[in-house]
Every structure is written in C-alpha cells, then in structure tokens.
Amino acid sequence: MPEVISKWARIDDAGRHDPWDLVVVRRAFGRSSDEFCTVPAAVLSELTDLMLVHGVRSNFRAAVRAAAVADVAVHGGGSFSAAAQQMLFCLDAVLRAETLYREERKVSPRNAAFFGLLRWLHTQGIPWPSAAGAAAAVVPEPTGWLVADSRLFERRESDPVCATALARFAAEGVAGSFHNRVNDAVTASALQRAVALSVWSDDPGDVFAQAVANALLTHGGPDAFLSAGAFALVVNVMLRGGDVADARHLALDELRSWPENENVLLAFDVAWDAVEHRSPDMLTAAGDPGSAPGALAAALAAVRTNPDDFDGAIGFLSRRCPAAAGLAGAMLGAAQGDAIVPAQRLVTLELRDVVDRLAEDVVAVRTSPEWPSSWSTDYPAF
C-alpha cells in the first residue's frame, strides 16, 4: 500500500518527508515574516472589527490583570512567575513593533518579542552583553521604561527552558523559528505571554500565527507552539464577545490546518469531556499538568466549570495545574471584564501599575490612530 503523505508534506534534502511545507511556514509568520517575505507598509493598522474594538477597549486590561492575579495566586508569596514576567515584556514588544512601523514602515513583532525576551533574561541576572550577544554592538544597553524598573530584577521562579533557549542566541547566534528549532520543549511556559498577541489582528488566523511564531522563539515542540496559538485565539474570540464554546470552534478550525496538531486538538476534547462527565481526573489524558496541552485543557475546563467565579476557577487549578492559572485568568477577564477579579486581590497585585500601563497602552495603540511622541522613547523599536 503506498504511503499516505500529508497535504503539507514535502521531501527534505535528505529524502525524508517533512510535514512543515514552506506554505505553512509562510502562513505562520504571516504579515510579520522576517525571513520569507517583504510586508507592505500598509499592513499594520489599528483593529477595525467593531466587536473586537469594543471588547479590547472594555476587557483587554481586565484579561491582562486577571492573568497576573491568577498567576500570583497559585505561586504563593505574592510574586510573579517567570511566565507572567515574560508576558509583560511581550506586551511591551507589541508597542515596540508599532514604533518600528511608525518610524521605518516595517512590521516585525517577532523580532520585537525576541529582544523583549532577551531583556527578560537580563532581569534574571544575565549581564546585557551576555544576553544580547552580537546584538549588543547595535543595542549596547537595554532600552525602554519597562526594563528600567528595578522591581523586575527580583529573581523569579526559574524557567530553564526559556533561559536556555534564549542563551543560544548569544552563544550561537540562533533564534528559535520553524527552520531553527532551539529545542523540542513542550512545557507551558510559552503560553501566558501569548495574551499579548490576542489583539494583534482582526483575523483569528493572524492571531494564531503570531502567537505560534512568538512561542517558537523558546519552544520548538509543536505541542507548545500550537497550544500558544490556540490560547491567543481563544482570548481573541472571548474579547469579541464569544464564549468558550465559540472559541473552541474557531480554535479547532484553525488547528486542523496545521501539521502535528493531534495533542492540541485532544486538549480541547479532554477539557470538554472532563466537564461533561464531571471528572477532573480525565484531564490527565491531555498530558502532564506542566505540558502545554495539559495546561490548555485544564484552563479550558476551569473556565467552562466556573465562568463567573474567579476564585473557584483558580482554586481548582491551584490544586491540579498551577501552570494553567494565568491562562484561565486571561480567558475570564476577556469574557467578564474587571468585575471578575475580587477587589481585594487587585489591591495586593504586585506591579499593578506596570500591568495597567502596558495593557492600557496596548489598547490605545491597537484601537486608535493616535501615537504620542513620547512612546518612541518609552517603547523604542529595539
């Protein structure tokens, strides 16, 4: 019987079947392709879908806040995890991508995010020349207001996967992409930062693709980067006014067009089955709680079970899958707005001023043509 080859497959130089056809690679970098195509200058514009614009203005800050609060709640001690701190640097990167567009008419969110993650690495005790490698000759000091905040230099829960992947840039000049997989990691630590890409575009496919490209900077396993794409798309749909069932429908539709999607598709099925059968133990079928599909499934199940109960959802995840708390928080905030987070939790939120400033500035840049001149200093391109 002849071998059946995926519609995406091609033959690589060694004669092996490679499921990642160039068509998929180009799609995944979409309109920000730094490697494969030149992007028209007119391509980056503010959101125009009225439902999404309304949702971003009313609920995006709430989504970011709720992700941060949930992350702190399950990690104890009142401090952000590494994943939550990376979320801040990726919000910053969305604004820096806008600066590059305004100043040079180039669209490059992936590069902006990569330098943002290098700045995060610097806050974790790595001297800037050692973090930036050869790029330090062009960017001799980390720039912008965010990295100048001394509170971010407090050591966080370690993230060896991201730290090791980013360190390869200085050592080898390697930045993670489809053609340069820095590892085969499938951990959940690349997912929470994808909330920053949930407002990238009116097009759900573009949102998914940009979150994939961002996750690939540190995670080369399809389970991780496709889970990141699915998470960003779920938040995008909920910001539009959809519920978690609507988000599932669109996420599954997008996932089916990507290779090596089986485990992430399974995560959605497992989440639904666990809720329908009232059996949280079924979530283990999606993978280890620390894996990206496992965390995605747990977050979806928690939100389905507790759509109006922040403490209920986060309490469930604190026992079963702490890595999913920030994801569930973002979904709940996107759907319900500021009211979903108990007021007393916001009062004690670490770095609340930083969280709010970043989220509000992202809302402003994605929903308004205004561009304050100070932002070129606050959010320089690199």
Chain segment 322-357, per-residue pLDDT in tens: 999 999 999 999 999 999 999 999 988 989 999 999
pLDDT at 26 over 60: no
Report CA-CA distances (Å) from 7 to 11, 29, 268.
12, 19, 23
Residues 216, 177: contact at Cβ < 8 Å? yes
pLDDT at 13 over 60: no
- Three-state secondary-structure class, residue 348: coil
Report CA-CA distances (Å) from 40 to 3, 242, 365, 368.
40, 31, 19, 20
Of 119, 144, 145, 150, the residue nearest 132 (C-alpha) = 119
Q: Is 302 left (phi over 0), alpha (psi -120 to 50) or beta?
A: alpha
Tokens 């360190």 map to which residue? 167
Name the residue with higher pLDDT: 369 or 228.
228
Distance CA 302, CA 331 (A): 10
Note the pLDDT of residue 44.
52
Of 42, 38, 86, the residue nearest 64 (C-alpha) = 86
Residues 346, 352: contact at Cβ < 8 Å? yes
Note the pLDDT of residue 202.
87
Q: Which amino acid is at 164?
A: T
- Mean pLDDT across 35-44: 41
**Residue 156: Cβ within 10 Å count:** 19
Distance CA 228, CA 209 (A): 9
Residues 3, 14: contact at Cβ < 8 Å? no
Note the pLDDT of residue 34.
40
Note the pLDDT of residue 28.
44
Residue 94: both structure tokens together: 């969305």
Q: What is the dihedral of CA 108, 203, 166, 163, to 10 degrees?
A: 150
**Residue 191: Cβ within 10 Å count:** 30
Distance CA 84, CA 192 (A): 7
pLDDT digits (tens, 9 = 90+) for 212-268: 999 999 999 999 999 999 999 999 999 999 999 999 999 999 999 898 999 999 999
Q: Report all structural domains of the chain as residue ranges with CATH numbers, in order of start.
A: 47-152+160-378 (1.10.4080.10)
pLDDT digits (tens, 9 = 90+) for 68-115: 999 999 987 678 999 999 999 999 999 999 888 888 888 788 889 999
Distant-in-sequence, close-in-space partners of 287: CB < 8 Å, separation ≥ 6: 186, 223, 263, 267, 293, 294, 297
Residues 204, 210: contact at Cβ < 8 Å? no
Note the pLDDT of residue 53.
86
pLDDT at 19 over 50: no
- Mean pLDDT across 158-185: 90
Distant-in-sequence, close-in-space partners of 145: CB < 8 Å, separation ≥ 6: 378
Note the pLDDT of residue 3.
34
Of 81, 143, 155, the residue nearest 323 (C-alpha) = 81
Whether this prediction's pTM lies above 0.85 is answered by: yes
**CA 308 to centroid of chain Cα atoms:** 24
Tokens 């939550």 map to which residue? 84
Note the pLDDT of residue 82.
93
Residues 232, 195: contact at Cβ < 8 Å? yes
pLDDT at 21 over 50: no
Distance CA 338, CA 342 (A): 9
- The length of the chain, given as a count of residues: 382
Distance CA 188, CA 291 (A): 5
pLDDT digits (tens, 9 = 90+) for 102-150: 888 887 888 899 999 999 999 999 999 999 998 898 899 999 999 999 9
Note the pLDDT of residue 17.
42
Question: How much of the chain, in percent, has pLDDT values that exceed 70?
Answer: 88
Note the pLDDT of residue 6.
35
